[in-house]
């Protein structure tokens, strides 16, 4: 056997340089062979690529790849791992023609060889702005589109990382928390569409449309209705400066046939002025367009329709999350349908063309809504869910959400939807003048779901065709990643204990499990290069949501929670798996 020490030093150096040159040549060829990401590609992505936040415009989070399947998933093993930067994030890698594009923390963007993790180029936007968790980036033509910490949207050349254009979104803020960009951009009909987060900012959130070629803003839609515009009389006669909320921090969806983009909006934290209706004719406290689905024309920002899922939300149970689009037969009629759920895991289904309410599905986690009108979807609050200055009530779920930004995945063929859930409630109330997250001063203290058996996490399968819950998988800790469904009959997801599992899509059986080395608080993807299918997930960049669950669940589990207190937490990285 030839041993390394028997090779002369000059030969070792020669072999090292030769391998480096070959690697660099391969990297150059990989970048130069990148094809343009066309509009038709975004509408019908190649099976091997992951071009959008949830892979397709309908936000289904489904990959048709089936090389990894129920029969061989136990052979899944780590293919490569690359360290990332520290800080909060909710990363979604994108993959095209064997190149992975990834938004790291601190406005760093990486282009990696998707086969090995070798770095191809790196870009960093310098701003000095503070950290903020972001969901990802977008691709179109030769551009990589990134939202930055200082309210810029930047277009980079996909082969070099060079800046093509840099647009600053102008927004003044006098609130305690400034505007921010958290959702990835959505490219629709030649326009870059970016939602803006406005957590406690006067005048509220908005969405902008940016010209794809020039980088110039062409329209702006405000998600808090202006006093003199439609919906302006739904804010208890508050002045514009006294209105806030309507954050847009989850990416939108797009229906090309209808040429409509769909976004969800968050509620307001300034709930006290809206608690009681003024009782004036023509004035309400619904607070449009919070907790709504809004359908806009991508070229103009025109509001085509809206549907408010929950008016005057007093518990921060927002409906900002993914809008998933599918074809579904409803009452004997074939429909293009949007399904979405807020933190209560109560799903509403709407007609994608008109916003007409169709039906709701309650997975049984919440006790805040006591009834849903079958014709309009209007929701009736349980009396205990009306904030009171006199007493507290156990309300489910906790304001951190039964579901949160961890997106569901859907299999269009089987009409099955897979939703990660946390089974945690709250002792809510009474209202005080002591301040807090919500301006009513209402206390929001986490509490276990009664008779939960020490289980705080659930993966819920929902049959959208029958509108019934199909199966549930329950575990000790909540999920912390979105879920990914694949053509191999699998559903992948990560949890608070650093685990990453592959479930059988038909019954929820765990077919494979691994320790990621750190907590996955991100969006897993699947892609293929040169005939090999990969599963990729970012770990070790937890958001506020994940850190909150760490504290809450550790306290619930007590001595049994030592597993959470002794997690290895090896650090931020992207971890990629393939069949061994």
DSSP lists the bridge partners of residue 148 as none
**What's the mean per-residue pLDDT of the chain?**
94
Unique residue bearing structure tokens 């939300």: 313
Is residue 102, in this structure, part of any structural domain at all? Answer: no
Res 27: pLDDT: 83
| pLDDT at residue 434 is higher than 80 | no
Res 563: pLDDT: 76
DSSP per residue, 432-470: -SS--SSTT---EEEEEPTT-TT--EEEEEEETTTTEEE
Is residue 42, in this structure, part of any structural domain at all? Answer: no
Q: Which of 103, 174, 106 is nearest to 144 (CA)?
A: 103
Is residue 181, in this structure, part of any structural domain at all? Answer: yes
- pLDDT tens-place string over residues 149-182: 999 999 999 999 999 999 999 998 777 788 999 9
- pLDDT tens-place string over residues 355-370: 999 999 999 999 999 9
Res 6: pLDDT: 40
Structural domain for 271, as ranges: 170-320
C-alpha 573/C-alpha 82 separation (Å) is 5
Residue 185, token pair as written in the block: 């951009």
- pLDDT band at residue 16, thresholds of 50, 70 and 90? very low
- pLDDT tens-place string over residues 467-497: 999 999 999 999 999 999 999 999 999 999 9
Cβ–Cβ under 8 Å, residues 497 and 513: no
DSSP lists the bridge partners of residue 485 as 62, 491
Please give the biggest Cα pair distance in the chain. Answer: 93
| CATH number of the CATH domain containing 184 | 2.40.10.480
Is residue 216, in this structure, part of any structural domain at all? Answer: yes
| pLDDT at residue 522 is higher than 50 | yes
**Which burial class, exposed, middle or buried, applies to 558 when counting CB atoms under 10 A from its CB (0-12, 13-18, 19+)?**
exposed
All residues at 6 or more sequence positions from 13 whose CB lies less than 8 Å from its CB, including other chains? none
- pLDDT band at residue 128, thresholds of 50, 70 and 90? confident
Mean pLDDT value of segment 450-456 = 91
- pLDDT tens-place string over residues 206-244: 999 999 999 999 999 999 999 999 999 999 999 999 999
- pLDDT tens-place string over residues 55-103: 999 999 999 999 999 999 999 999 999 999 999 999 999 999 999 999 9
How many domains does the chain divide into?
1
Res 3: pLDDT: 35
Mean pLDDT value of segment 283-312 = 98
Q: Which of 372, 396, 376 is nearest to 384 (CA)?
A: 396
Q: How far is CA 386 from CA 143, 203, 360, 395, in A?
A: 49, 26, 22, 11
Is residue 9, in this structure, part of any structural domain at all? Answer: no
Is residue 290, in this structure, part of any structural domain at all? Answer: yes
Q: Which of 434, 559, 448, 575 is nearest to 516 (CA)?
A: 575
| pLDDT at residue 415 is higher than 60 | yes
Is residue 186, in this structure, part of any structural domain at all? Answer: yes
Is residue 407, in this structure, part of any structural domain at all? Answer: no
Give this prediction's pTM. Answer: 0.94
Percent of the chain past pLDDT 90, that is, above it, reads: 88
C-alpha 167/C-alpha 22 separation (Å) is 38
Cβ–Cβ under 8 Å, residues 240 and 203: yes
C-alpha 541/C-alpha 131 separation (Å) is 11
The C-alpha angle 385, 389, 395, rounded to 5 degrees, equals: 25
């Amino acid at each position: 056997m030839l041993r390394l020490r028997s090779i002369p030093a000059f030969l070792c150096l020669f072999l090292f340089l030769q391998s480096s040159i070959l690697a660099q040549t391969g990297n150059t060829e990989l970048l130069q062979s990148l094809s343009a990401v066309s509009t038709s590609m975004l509408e019908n992505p190649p099976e091997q690529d992951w071009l959008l936040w949830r892979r397709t415009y309908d936000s289904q989070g489904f990959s048709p790849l089936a090389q990894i399947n129920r029969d061989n998933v136990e052979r899944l093993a780590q293919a490569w791992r690359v360290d990332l930067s520290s800080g909060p994030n909710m990363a979604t890698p994108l993959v095209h023609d064997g190149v992975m594009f990834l938004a790291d923390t601190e406005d760093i963007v990486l282009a990696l060889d998707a086969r090995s993790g070798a770095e191809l180029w790196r870009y960093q936007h310098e701003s000095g702005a503070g950290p903020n968790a972001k969901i990802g980036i977008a691709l179109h033509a030769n551009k990589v589109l990134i939202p930055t910490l200082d309210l810029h949207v930047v277009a980079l050349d996909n082969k070099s990382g060079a800046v093509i254009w840099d647009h600053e979104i102008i927004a003044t803020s006098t609130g305690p928390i400034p505007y921010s960009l958290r959702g990835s951009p959505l490219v629709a009909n030649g326009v870059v569409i970016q939602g803006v987060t406005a957590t406690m900012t006067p005048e509220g959130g908005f969405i902008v449309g940016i010209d794809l070629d020039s980088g110039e803003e062409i329209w702006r839609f405000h998600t808090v209705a202006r006093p003199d515009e439609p919906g302006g009389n739904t804010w208890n006669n508050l002045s514009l400066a006294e209105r806030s909320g309507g954050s847009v921090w989850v990416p939108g969806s797009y229906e090309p046939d209808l040429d409509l983009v769909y976004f969800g909006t968050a509620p307001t934290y300034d709930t006290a002025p809206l608690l009681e209706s003024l009782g004036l004719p023509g004035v309400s406290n619904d607070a449009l367009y919070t907790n709504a689905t809004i359908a806009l024309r991508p070229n103009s920002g025109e509001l085509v329709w809206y549907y408010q899922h929950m008016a005057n939300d007093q518990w921060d149970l927002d409906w900002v999350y993914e809008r998933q689009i599918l074809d579904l037969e409803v009452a004997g009629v074939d429909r293009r349908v949007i399904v979405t759920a807020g933190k209560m895991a109560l799903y509403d289904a709407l007609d994608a063309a008109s916003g007409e309410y169709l039906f709701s599905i309650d997975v049984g986690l919440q006790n805040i809504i006591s009834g849903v009108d079958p014709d309009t979807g209007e929701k009736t609050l349980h009396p205990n869910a009306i904030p009171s200055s006199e007493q507290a009530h156990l309300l489910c779920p906790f304001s951190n959400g039964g579901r949160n930004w961890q997106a569901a995945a859907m299999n269009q063929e089987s009409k099955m939807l897979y939703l990660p859930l946390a089974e945690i409630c709250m002792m809510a109330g009474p209202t005080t003048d002591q301040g807090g997250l919500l301006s009513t001063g209402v206390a929001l203290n986490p509490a276990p779901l009664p008779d939960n058996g020490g289980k705080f996490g659930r993966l819920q399968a929902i049959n959208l065709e029958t509108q019934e819950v199909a199966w549930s998988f329950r575990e000790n800790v909540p999920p912390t990643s979105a879920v990914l469904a694949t053509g191999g009959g699998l559903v992948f997801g990560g949890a608070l204990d650093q685990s990453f599992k592959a479930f059988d899509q038909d019954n929820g059986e765990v077919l494979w499990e691994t320790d990621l080395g750190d907590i996955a608080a991100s969006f897993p993807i699947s892609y293929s290069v040169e005939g090999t299918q990969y599963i990729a997930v970012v770990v070790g960049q937890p958001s506020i949501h994940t850190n909150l669950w760490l504290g809450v669940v550790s306290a619930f589990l007590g001595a049994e929670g030592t597993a959470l207190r002794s997690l290895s937490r090896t650090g931020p990285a992207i971890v990629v798996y393939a069949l061994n």
